A and B are shown apart, each in its own frame.
Chain A
Amino acid sequence: MNRVVVIGAGPAGLAAARAAAALGVEVVLVDAGPKLGGQYFRQDALASEDRFSFPGGVEHVPDAAVWAVEPIHGGHRVHLRIGAADDPSRTGRVLETRALVLATGAFDRVLPFPGWDLPGVFTAGGAQAMAKGQGVAAGDRVLVAGTGPFLLPVASSLAAAGARVVEVAEANAAVTGWLSRPRGVFAGWPKLPELARHVSALARHRVPYRSRTAVVRAHGSEWVESVTVARLDREWTPVPGSERRVEVDAVAVGFGFTPQLELAVAARCRIEGGFVAVDAAQGTSAPGVFAAGEVTGIGGADLAASEGAVAGAAAAKRLGAVVDPPLGAMARVRSGRRFAAALEAAYPVRGGWTDWLRDDTIVCRCEEVDLRRLMSAVDERDLGGVRSLKLASGAGLGLCQGRVCGRNVAELAGLDGTAFARRRIASPLRLGELAEAEPEAEAVEVPDRALGQDFG
């Protein structure tokens, strides 16, 4: 049986599934969540209807965690656990495919600061997901901090969910600076009207928005009770004397996003500059594997969807469908990447964040490794690689497998952090689940001729 398997049902995966199905190819669309949409289109979990529908030929498998991708002759075997999250009673399913689309998205990067492990400190996306998907505000008095335009929708969703957003602290230059007069790099970005709506929503709620400002410390014993906010210099070192205490019961922090790379690494895709490297047809370096959306670069939902449309068509072509190059989508990908590059240049993470840390600041939340322990491993043991650094310091060895701390630890140690994304078990399963007999694979025929990977 020939089918495209798409992992991830966010904007990229949805578009990929639609594009492949429209070309007459069967599609299985797998996602860990109960509903379609991923992060951007996060649906209200309490509503009974689904916002998305598909043409025939797409099977959506919800509540399905892909825990491993195994390279096999002529393709890949995708291992699922289906059912209630982390429950030992989940059932197994194994899909084989010659055309795999990875659309696993990204998650927030949070820079550590003293007190960031207190309950009440959330990632910006986490606060967003709770507000959008569950209708719950992270707190009553919330401060939103970090960098990039993404802070705006987070603040406006929190306000809509009933929180009082006391301030938005942007560590770089204000988004509002160019948003009101978009010229140069941001002119023509399709995201502008949406961002402008968020800005006026914040103005309506009288939310102060400050640039070159960050939360450098959270205070409280059982729960965050206040934060210290400071002005930053150009390199993000706090300006002495600029600190002020703000009373809050929640903080939402986001410093950009980190791609969810482990399945791409397992499928042997080349990673470049921290993202899955793709060609013009969204093909990765691994034959039969395509990648779309924020695993290939952070650029927002529109770019993710355009990449998905290209990847879906390329995957269908790989299975023998007759496909004209999707020129419109390919052009949108090219222009989307220009905005993404501009965004990255305007909202980088600058090195001064390490000045926010103290010796006893937790760096790895899972294993409770503080800065002192990490740096003594780095300085005294002269470790030149991520693998030995993890083992010597404990950082990145816990249940999140370095998703939260990996980039920060790598930056502190002066190493390339890509190796943190090597996670053979992408999502934990119970030993008893692993011990089950392998479900019979829904197999594929291996073709006798090599099929093209691109539209050439």
Chain B
Amino acid sequence: MSPIESADVVVVGAGIIGAACAEALSRAGRRVLVVDRGAPAGATTASGEGNVLLSDKAPGPELALALAARRRWPALLESLRGELGDLADVEWEAKGGLVVATSPDSVGSLRIISDAQREAGVEVHSLGPEGARKLEPHLTGTVTAAAHYPEDAQLHPVLAATALLAAVRARGGAVVGGVEADGLVVRGGRVAGVRIGGAAVPCGAVVNACGPWAGHFSVAAGAPIEVMPRRGMILVTAPLPPLVRRKVYAADYVAAVSSGDVDLQVSTVVESTAAGTVLIGSSRQRVGFDDSLEVEVLRRLARNAIRLFPVLEGVPVMRAYGGFRPYTPDHLPVIGEDPRMRGLWHASGHEGAGIGLAPATGRLLADLMDGRRPEVDPVPFRVDRPALMAEVRT
């Protein structure tokens, strides 16, 4: 099965998070094996729009992680370019984000959030309606206020994840698709290996980077954590002439992102891709792993997008796709060693921000594993925090 019989660390899950953890661990000199039951970068990561955002995060631990990640991405890509050449071209673009308010009521709350973000170190420019339409000429005339975030960026999630995995391979590690990890080998109360399709692969540590399935793997590993899927759908238009330059979204998006509501929530997110298509999001729904098409969700996405960019009304929609954002009860990722099982590490629960947060997640995990002082305070993300363990224990 595997080109290496044993590894220092086995990372389970080859999405952007597993790839970033494996990259950081192999950079620190460890021999890493990454396994995925499907195709690398073929699950949630393939659904991501690839935004690396500060704008949608309120001050707190997630913003701290996001700031670290935003600093890390360009440097990481630069260093990968030295190792891998063109493979490190992942369509990185610091295109900026624009959050718009379209009602008099939301002007105030938009201002409050942006002021707090500025305080926390985010570059934000508050704009009036004309300023907003100068940046995005096709915006609706009903804009009342906007906030411009020049640091918001975008990259191509599949290219990014596969570049990180290529670096792991180049450093002597291995990436194997089509194999499922179904449990741990435990000796003396700590991890001695991982079971992969009946065979045991000896290793010193296992990283659970199974995305929305991290809860399942944690159960198989005997140390359950609460990570659940939150479904999201995106509409894709036909390729269009340049129309929307930044990531543009309605101010109510921030509320939807941090809401734990079971019901369908549809906020308005519009942006274009390098291929000329416009992506229209985003819905949030807790329906387990049910991926059936729901036309009403698509209709609501379409209505919202036209409200923000009336010019979109006549353009063709050619695709719709969805994915399951991995989320935890307190909407913070879980990054660290499991106190119940030494040698088992978790890196999951990044919900709608895993692409952006990946490099800081990998680095934090590697720093903790190596006993280095981490750049970001690890405490809010620890495995035994009350919000996570409360549900785990019951």
Tell me the A residues contacting B by CB distance below 8 Å: 68-71, 77, 79, 86, 88, 266, 268, 367, 380-385, 387-388, 391-392, 394, 397-399, 401, 423-425, 428-432, 434-438
In contact, A430 and B319 (Cβ under 8 angstroms): no
In contact, B40 and A382 (Cβ under 8 angstroms): yes
In contact, B299 and A71 (Cβ under 8 angstroms): no
In contact, A77 and B319 (Cβ under 8 angstroms): no
What are some 22 contacts across the A-B interface (CB < 8 A)?
A69-B293, A70-B293, A70-B295, A88-B314, A266-B293, A382-B40, A383-B158, A384-B177, A384-B178, A385-B39, A388-B42, A399-B238, A425-B318, A425-B319, A425-B320, A428-B238, A428-B317, A429-B317, A430-B313, A431-B315, A435-B299, A435-B303
Bound state CA distance, A388 and B175, in angstroms?
15
In contact, B316 and A398 (Cβ under 8 angstroms): no
Residue B41 at the chain A interface, CB threshold 8 Å: yes
Bound state CA distance, A56 and B280, in angstroms?
45
Q: Give the chain A neighbours of B5 by CB distance below 8 A.
A: none
Contact with A along B274-316 (1 / 0, CB 8 A): 0101001000000000001111101100110110000011111
Bound state CA distance, A434 and B303, in angstroms?
8
Lowest 7 A-B CB distances belong to which pairs?
A385-B39, A384-B39, A432-B313, A434-B302, A381-B162, A385-B42, A384-B177
Residue B237 at the chain A interface, CB threshold 8 Å: yes
Q: Give the chain B neighbours of A432 by CB distance below 8 A.
A: 302, 306, 313-314
In contact, A70 and B41 (Cβ under 8 angstroms): no
Q: Which of B46, B315, B316 contacts A391 (CB 8 A)?
A: B46
Q: Point out which of A71, A382, A398, A431 has the most chain B C-beta atoms below 10 A from its C-beta.
A: A431
Q: Give the chain A neighbours of B319 by CB distance below 8 A.
A: 401, 423-425
**Apart from A384-B178, A398-B318, what are 6 other A-B pairs with CB-CB below 8 Å?**
A69-B293, A384-B40, A388-B39, A391-B157, A425-B318, A428-B317
In contact, A384 and B317 (Cβ under 8 angstroms): no
Q: Give the chain A neighbours of B46 by CB distance below 8 A.
A: 387-388, 391
Nearest chain A CB to B40's CB is how many angstroms away? 6
In contact, A429 and B316 (Cβ under 8 angstroms): yes
Q: Which of B178, B275, B293, B294 contacts A397 (CB 8 A)?
A: B275
Q: Point out which of B159, B162, B314 has the most chain A C-beta atoms below 10 A from its C-beta.
A: B162
Nearest chain B CB to A102's CB is how many angstroms away? 16
In contact, B295 and A431 (Cβ under 8 angstroms): no
Question: Which bracket fits the contact residues of B?
Answer: 35 or more
In contact, A431 and B302 (Cβ under 8 angstroms): yes
Contact with A along B18-50 (1 / 0, CB 8 A): 000000000000000000001111100010000
In contact, B316 and A399 (Cβ under 8 angstroms): yes
Q: Point out which of B38, B39, B157, B313 has the most chain A C-beta atoms below 10 A from its C-beta.
A: B39
In contact, A431 and B292 (Cβ under 8 angstroms): no
Bound state CA distance, A430 and B293, in angstroms?
18
Q: Kindly report which residue of chain A lies nearest to residue B233, judged by CB atoms.
A: A424
In contact, B41 and A383 (Cβ under 8 angstroms): yes
In contact, A438 and B238 (Cβ under 8 angstroms): no
In contact, A385 and B156 (Cβ under 8 angstroms): no
8 Å CB interface, B305-361 against A: 305-306, 312-321
Nearest chain A CB to B42's CB is how many angstroms away? 4
Residue B132 at the chain A interface, CB threshold 8 Å: no
Q: Give the chain A neighbours of B298 by CB distance below 8 A.
A: 434
In contact, B41 and A388 (Cβ under 8 angstroms): yes
Residue B203 at the chain A interface, CB threshold 8 Å: no
Q: Which of B159, B165, B275, B306 contacts A431 (CB 8 A)?
A: B306
Bound state CA distance, A387 and B42, in angstroms?
6
In contact, B162 and A424 (Cβ under 8 angstroms): no
In contact, A430 and B316 (Cβ under 8 angstroms): yes
Q: Give the chain B neighbours of A86 by CB distance below 8 A.
A: 316
Q: Give the chain A neighbours of B295 by CB distance below 8 A.
A: 68, 70, 77, 79, 438
Q: Give the chain A neighbours of B156 by CB distance below 8 A.
A: 391-392
In contact, A68 and B293 (Cβ under 8 angstroms): yes
Nearest chain B CB to A32's CB is how many angstroms away? 15
Q: Point out which of A391, A399, A429 has the most chain B C-beta atoms below 10 A from its C-beta.
A: A391
Contact with A along B232-268 (1 / 0, CB 8 A): 0001011100000000000000000000000000000
Residue B166 at the chain A interface, CB threshold 8 Å: yes
Bound state CA distance, A423 and B42, in angstroms?
17
Residue B196 at the chain A interface, CB threshold 8 Å: no
In contact, B159 and A392 (Cβ under 8 angstroms): yes
In contact, B178 and A424 (Cβ under 8 angstroms): no
Q: Point out which of B162, B165, B237, B318 has the most chain A C-beta atoms below 10 A from its C-beta.
A: B318
Q: Give the chain B neighbours of A431 by CB distance below 8 A.
A: 235, 237, 280, 302, 305-306, 312-317
Residue B68 at the chain A interface, CB threshold 8 Å: no
Bound state CA distance, A71 and B280, in angstroms?
23
**Known contacts A383-B39, A384-B177, A431-B306; A438 and B316 CB within 8 A of each other:** no
In contact, B162 and A388 (Cβ under 8 angstroms): yes
**Known contacts A381-B87, A385-B42, A424-B293; A392 and B162 CB within 8 A of each other:** yes
Q: Which of B175, B239, B294 contacts A70 (CB 8 A)?
A: B294
Q: Give the chain A neighbours of B312 by CB distance below 8 A.
A: 431
Q: Give the chain A neighbours of B175 by CB distance below 8 A.
A: 382
Bound state CA distance, A425 and B42, in angstroms?
20
In contact, B177 and A435 (Cβ under 8 angstroms): no
In contact, B42 and A384 (Cβ under 8 angstroms): yes
Nearest chain A CB to B285's CB is how many angstroms away? 15
Bound state CA distance, A266 and B322, in angstroms?
14
Bound state CA distance, A397 and B46, in angstroms?
13
